[in-house]
Amino acid sequence: MASSDPAAPGVPAAGAPLLLRGRWFGPDHPVVMAVVNRTPDSFYAAARYDDAGADAAVARAEEEGADLVDLGGVRAGRGPVVDVAEEIARVVPLVERVRRRHPDLLVSVDTWRAEVARAAADAGADLLNDTWAGHDPALVEVAAERGLGVVCSHTGGLAPRTDPLRVSYPLPDDVDPCDPGVDPRDGVLHDVLRTLRTAAARAVDLGVHPASVLVDPTHDFGKSTWHSLHLVRRTAALTALGHPVLVALSRKDFVGETLGLPPEERLEGTLAATTLAAWHGARVFRAHDVRATRRTVDMVAALRGDLPPASAVRGLA
């Protein structure tokens, strides 16, 4: 775990450390979470894996610098129905294989269902990535009972696998929009902070360690492109919640719509958003492109002063 020395002048405060499976990750070790979807219909074609492909993807992710793999069995967006039994069949054997073949990798399971979470916990998962904001309130109870980490997310009240439509987030009634210190775009931020604060407090009350409760603003879920862009630039407000911040920015629609690009061409935009989030203290970075993300967040950590260069001999010889 890194020291808690204050940041240098002009450098935002570091985000909270992360604790998973007895391992601490502080500012000197940004956490890269590799996306491995056991789905045939992921929005990003390169991330659609069958069993053999998923095994190879996990091995490649570890080689490229991932600390954590996020295993999912259901596409986040609309698509064919995947029931509990099918989701378990897609994900749980993969969890078992990763735990057996890659003992140093941390394992996350992307699910909103407590039944899947319990089966994944039995198979050796370390983190439950609930991207649908507690739709099944029993999921966080599984995390507490089994000593796992949990991701608290924000979807603006949407049910799983639904898309936003003309969603808006007005400023709260107790915020004066005429106050010169108020950003009128902060309605979405206030809603995200309120939701994440409440969900994180429940997780801690149930017994999850505060450093094992991750908060995720959940870009694109229940949000327009404008909302997602604003949440990236306001990452510091999320880190101020006092829990490790997870950002899932990789090749998302807000990147594509901003640059006018399909998923296959969104790497540079993703890394730009990742850089800003990392500078402002985000701790975990969910990514399809592990090597590029690893290098990006390590460089940001060095620029922040949290991580020394791998070598520093220039001008010394």
pLDDT of res. 5: 59
pLDDT of res. 77: 85
Q: Which amino acid is at 153?
A: S
Q: How many CB atoms lie within 10 A of CB 294?
A: 20
List pLDDT tens digits, range 282-317. Answer: 999 999 999 999 999 999 999 999 999 999 999 997
Which of the 8 DSSP states describes residue 79? -
Q: Which amino acid is at 136?
A: D
pLDDT of res. 1: 42
Mean per-residue pLDDT pooled into runs of 10, the chain (317 residues): 64 96 98 93 75 90 98 90 96 96 97 98 98 96 98 96 92 90 92 98 98 98 97 98 98 98 97 98 98 98 97 91
**How far from each other are the two terminal CA atoms of the chain, in whole angstroms?**
33
pLDDT of res. 2: 42
User: Which residue is listed with tokens 């502080």?
Assistant: 26
pLDDT of res. 178: 87
Q: Which amino acid is at 238?
A: L
Q: What is the CA radius of gyration of the chain?
A: 19
pLDDT of res. 199: 98
Quick check: 120 and 128 in contact, CB under 8 A? yes
pLDDT of res. 46: 73
List pLDDT tens digits, range 125-181. Answer: 999 999 999 999 999 999 999 999 999 999 999 999 999 999 999 999 999 888 988
Q: Which amino acid is at 100?
A: R
The class level of CATH for 19-173+184-304 reads alpha beta
pLDDT of res. 114: 98
pLDDT of res. 202: 98
Quick check: 11 and 23 in contact, CB under 8 A? no
Which of the 8 DSSP states describes residue 106? E
Indicate whether this model's pTM tops 0.85: yes
Quick check: 122 and 145 in contact, CB under 8 A? no
Q: Where are the domains of the chain?
A: 19-173+184-304
